[in-house]
Amino acid sequence: MSKQANPTVIGGFVLGALALVVIAILVFGSGALFRAQVPMVTYFPGSVQGLNVGAGVQFEGVTVGRVTGIELSFSPDTGTFSVPVTYEVWPDSVSILGSASEDSPEEILRGLVKERGLHARLESLSFVTGQYVVALQLIPGRPLRLLKDPDDAVEVPSIEATRDRMSEMLDNLRLDDLVNEASLTLASIRQLIGSGEVLRLLETLNGTLESARVLIEDVDREVPPLARRLDSTLEDYGALARAVQSGIVPVAENLEAVSASLAVLVRRVDEQVIPLSGATRAALGEVEAAMRSLGALAGDASGTRIRFDRFLAEASAAARSLRDLADYLERHPEALLQGKR
């Protein structure tokens, strides 16, 4: 007869299993089920390969949420596909400094999107594993492009991922043209090497290097004599500078003495100017009186004027005789010793 199972033991095992499940959820889910959440969505235009549900949402490298859903949408009007990625952000993962805002976390996030340029892009965690995360970043001044802006979630505009930009660049490259150009370049190099031009160029270069070596040796031999001559020239210039310096001091002293003498002369001339000007004024007064006397004599019609006119005529004749004698003596200076012949 088999022994009946104990219901208490079975119930204990069931409760223990439930407890382990709850603990696992709390540990591996980092308490996400019991923390405040703000639903957000981003419509990525390109591939989201490498992004999985449960991947992290980061801001400045800090995990602030996780991806909750990845879908594929098609718009018949535009004929384009988009990938809406839904994720949640945990407000308690961000510490608020200063006074707390009265706005809700959802309103704060909407303000960051519309006023501060909050955008989302895919970033690689590792090139080895190929895993991606959603990275949030602020790009002020970038045009805001919202596709739906739903009420039940905060839409964050997307930025093209780095791998998408690289893929676009590679698509725009004309690889065939690059390969053809590389082939032509290699063929030209092969033809140049085979034509012997490279060998002649190397020979010319070798000759040039040999000439340069000889020139360097000649210059090296001339450097010591040139250095000795330069030293001798510098010594001569030093002696000249000392001689000039020794001669400058007496010249400066003489200049100082001459300056002092000129100052004394100026003072003496200044002292004589005042008496000389007084004597000059007195002489001018006497000349003026003499001129008035001569005028009075010239206006007199008596015998004095007749005698004075005769005196002036005789004086003029005597002056002419003296002028003739002076001219003769200037032409014949020996007449002073020998007499007039």
Terminal CA-CA length for the chain: 200
**Residue ending a domain, choose from 110, 145, 171:** 171
Average pLDDT of span 180-188: 83
Pick the more confident residue, 90 or 273: 90
Range picked from 49-63, 235-249, 260-274, 298-312 for highest mean pLDDT: 49-63
Tokens of 184: 């032509």
Tokens of 226: 């040139």
Task: Give yes or no for residue 65 having a pLDDT over 90.
Answer: yes
**Residue ending a domain, choose from 131, 149, 171:** 171
What domain range includes position 306? 300-335
What percentage of the chain carries pLDDT values higher than 90?
Answer: 11
Task: Judge whether 340 lies within some domain.
Answer: no
Grade residue 270 by pLDDT with cuts at 50, 70 and 90: low
CA 287/CA 265 separation, integer angstroms: 31
306 plus 165 within the same structural domain: no
Q: What pLDDT shows up at residue 283?
A: 59
- Over residues 88-124, the pLDDT tens digits come to 999 888 876 666 667 788 888 888 888 888 999 898 8
Task: Judge whether 73 lies within some domain.
Answer: yes
Residue located via tokens 């002419």: 320
- Which residue type does 321 have? S
Q: 42, 41, 40, 44: which is closest to 163 by C-alpha?
A: 44
Average pLDDT of span 293-297: 61
What percentage of the chain carries pLDDT values higher than 70?
Answer: 70
Task: Judge whether 150 lies within some domain.
Answer: yes
**Residue ending a domain, choose from 155, 171, 187:** 171
Task: Judge whether 324 lies within some domain.
Answer: yes
Q: What pLDDT shows up at residue 53?
A: 93
Tokens of 86: 């839904």
Q: What pLDDT shows up at residue 167?
A: 67
Range picked from 204-208, 218-222, 225-229 for highest mean pLDDT: 204-208
Domain count, the chain: 2
The answer to which of 46-55, 204-213, 273-282 has the lowest mean pLDDT is 273-282
Q: What pLDDT shows up at residue 88?
A: 93
Q: How many CB atoms lie within 10 A of CB 265?
A: 10
DSSP 154-170: EE--B---HHHHHHHHH
Length reported for the chain:
341
Q: If residue 57 lies in a helix (H) or strand (E), which one and from where to where?
A: strand 56-59
Task: Judge whether 19 lies within some domain.
Answer: yes
| Alpha helix stretches (DSSP H) within the chain | 7-28, 105-115, 162-172, 175-194, 197-299, 303-331, 335-338
Tokens of 85: 């990625």
Q: What pLDDT shows up at residue 68?
A: 93
Grade residue 1 by pLDDT with cuts at 50, 70 and 90: very low
Q: What pLDDT shows up at residue 321?
A: 74
Q: 293, 270, 290: which is closest to 282 by C-alpha?
A: 290
